[in-house]
Structure 1
Amino acid sequence: MAHSYYAYTPSHTAAMVFAILFSITNVGTVSQSIRYRAWVWIVMVVAGLMESLGYIARSLSSENPEKRGLFIGQFCLIVLAPVLMAAACYIIFGRLVYRVVLAESRTMKVLWVPPGLITPIFVMCDIVALLLQLGGAVVVSGTQPTDNNAQKKINTGKDIALAGLAIQIACFGFFSVVALRFNIISKQFDTEYEKLTEDEKYITVNETGRKIRKNWRPLLRVINVACILILIRSVYRVCDFALGKSGYLEQHEWPAYAFDAAMMLPCLAIFVYWNPGKYLPYVGFRMPKSSRVN
């Protein structure tokens, strides 16, 4: 009998349900991003696509648990997609800060991060975390018990992935604190952004003629919610890798859906309604200097 890469009998139904839910949600993400021309949000689109493909691959893998390629593919896609979701939060938070905080208020004391490096610092940490998790995930998921030095390979891969997750949690944890604190003190940043038009609800972007919502705080709150969901999932993955293949989390399937899939689906879904393009006038790949509050 061929060796199964799972320590349990994987559920085809559960994988298909989440594959469908992520696919539907990602359609909404794509359509809203096009509607609001939020091209920078392509990072979240790619993350959603990875989740969709990951659970499609998992549904196929559940019927062919001995197939190494399918197992590695679904594992890597599902493990790495949240890293891109975190990157999307970094990018949008950086855009939000530059849009609503006056130049003289953008200080280390207020933001706890160098103002001009908010996005680069966190994204670079994310890239390092992504590469380490990718390397570790490939080693762990691709090692069979019958391989030479199998346990040593698994331990090495686990340690690499744990290092990536530790970097992600440390970086994202700090970012979550920064974003939450900014949410608490944000009322002091009622700038010209909210006074550009007499319309009570919308601001017209002169360069494009399109309207965006004047109240930007819902977007900030949604970022805070996304941070909590991603942190819960990241802690789960740390425990998963730390306990190893003989641990409870590897021996049972339900935690993967409860603490990963069920966390990442709403993280993607909430941004369908609260799309950054609704609240930020410049969500293209480059933000014009003239768009920043001075």
Structure 2
Amino acid sequence: MDHEKYEIIKYDPNHLGNIIIGGVYAVESLVFFYYIFRHKARWALCLPLGALASAIGFFVRVALDRQNVSIMLYVIQSMFIVASPSAFLAFNYMLYGRFIAAIDPHFGSDKAQPKMEKSRYSFIPPRIVGRVFIWSDVTTFMLQIAAGGMLGGGGTNVSLIQMGDKLFLIGVIAQGVCYLLFTALLTVTLMRLVSERQAAGLNRSGRGCMGLDKNTLKMAVGFYFSSLCIAVRSVYRIIEFAQGHDGLLVSHEVYLFILDALPLVLAIGVWALLWPTTTLDRIASEARDGSQAYSMESGNAPLRLPSSDSSLRN
């Protein structure tokens, strides 16, 4: 890599494209803020804040000049666009525990050790799942912030910039692996749920499929659609940083739009169409009704069960 020919950015950012993507993120952020304040779901604030940070990152790109790059602006847009999606992953991690509380009418009854309470659908205590994966998310986020600092502070110091690229690569690989493990955990949960409900015949109405009621099915589809989009973005970022600063992906902005921005817009956009709190309440209600019906058929006394949200407030 020649120091004299080195360019921190290899193209003139497309103003219209960045404004459109930034605008979409901003609209999604406003929608999420509306849902959060309407439904008093403060636990989900990471979602609109992450979308707002991404919007800022793309708006800042409009001010970048390839011939006279502002290092400060470059660092801001780089960290906001690459690192802020950690907030989207954190939302899915926290949503998992609430999903468990909704589908498992017995969850939340252990007052002695609420943090370590287990569910028959999750081989890891749901509250521990959120904490473990969110801490992994924070760790990878800090790695990417440090890498962004190296890229910005390197100036024309090629070795420091290459080190920043490698640190970014480590961060996105670790983030992708953690989310892959989370997706595997979610899959096990859904397999157990499908197996149990099909065996019990609780979905007699036929409104869902595979033994799942329509609201549980919606939530499962939302999880998997969001996860697929996140996976596409993760693979793109891994390949990009593996190629280095002279690679094909980093040299053409169209890949940033198609393989990073679009998948993430869709990954969180599914929750704008299917806001989880209302769906979770319906799932919890149907799970309680199903449990009570099963108890009456089997001659057992029905349980008094907590709501999906209150069971995770501790």
Q: Secondary structure at the match of 2:62?
A: helix
Match of 1:13 in 2: 16
Alignment partner of 2:84: what SS? helix
Contact 2:100 2:121 (C-alpha < 8 Å) held by counterparts = no
Structure 1 residues 290 and 15: alpha-carbon distance in aligned structure 2, compared to 1, 3 A threshold? closer
The residue type equivalent to 1:154 in the other structure is I
The structure 2 residue matched to 1:86, chosen from 86, 89, 93, is 89
Shift of 1:4: 5.7
Q: In the alignment, which residue of structure 2 is the partner of 1:248?
A: 248
Query: Matched residues in 2 for 1:175 and 1:253: separation?
Result: 30
From the superposition, tell whether residues 140 and 214 of structure 1 become closer, same or farther in structure 2 (CA, over 3 Å). same
Q: Work out whether residues 98 and 312 of structure 2, in 8 Å CA contact, stay in contact via their aligned partners in 1.
A: no
CA contact (8 A) 2:79 2:148 kept: yes
1:289 is displaced (CA, Å) by 3.9
What is the number of residues matched between the two proteins? 264
In structure 1, distance between residues paired with 2:196 and 2:92: 20
For the pair 1:135 / 2:146, whether they are aligned, the reply is yes
Deviation of 1:99 after TM superposition, in Å, equals: 2.6
Change (3 A) 1:186 1:152: same
1:39 counterpart residue number: 42
Is 1:29 aligned to residue 35 of structure 2?
Answer: no
Pairing 1:224–2:229 present: no
Q: How does 1:100-115 map onto structure 2 within 5 Å?
A: 100-101=103-104, 102-103=106-107, 110-115=121-126
Bigger Cα Rg: 2
In the alignment, the residues of structure 1 paired with residue 97 and residue 274 of structure 2 have an alpha-carbon distance, to the nearest angstrom, of 17
The 1:10–1:237 alpha-carbon spacing in structure 2 relative to 1, beyond 3 Å, is: same
Residues 1-294 of structure 1 mapped to structure 2, 5 A cutoff: 5-62=8-65, 66-101=69-104, 102-103=106-107, 110-145=121-156, 150-188=157-195, 215-281=215-281, 287-289=309-311
Mark the CA change 1:225 to 1:15 in structure 2 (over 3 Å): closer, same or farther. same
Q: CA deviation at 1:124?
A: 0.9
Letter in 1 for 2:83: L
| SS of residue matched to 1:280 | helix
CA RMSD of aligned residues (A): 3.1
TM-score when normalising by structure 1: 0.80
Distance (Å, rounded) in 2 between the aligned partners of 1:71 and 1:263:
22
Assess if the C-alpha contact under 8 Å between 1:43 and 1:87 holds in 2: yes
State the AA in 1 paired with 2:172. Answer: L
Q: CA-to-partner distance for each residue in 1:258-291, whole Å, 9 max, x for gaps? A: 1100111111211112111212349xxx953498
Q: Which amino acid aligns with 2:260?
A: D
Write the distance in 2 (CA, Å) between the matches of 1:94 and 1:62: 45
TM-score (normalised: structure 2): 0.75
Secondary structure of 1:7's aligned partner:
coil
Question: Does structure 2 retain, via aligned residues, the 8 Å contact 1:33–1:277?
Answer: no
Q: By how many angstroms is 1:72 displaced?
A: 0.9
Change in 2 beyond 3 A, CA 1:255/1:141: farther
- Unaligned stretches of 5+ residues in structure 2: 1-5, 110-116, 208-212, 283-307
Q: Name the CA shift for 1:247/1:40 in 2 (closer, same or farther; >3 Å).
A: same
Summarize the Cα distance change of 1:62–1:32 in structure 2 as closer, same or farther, 3 Å threshold: farther
Residues 237 and 174 (structure 1 numbering): CA distance in 2 closer, same or farther, change over 3 Å? same
Alignment CA distance shift 1:51-1:132 (3 Å)? same
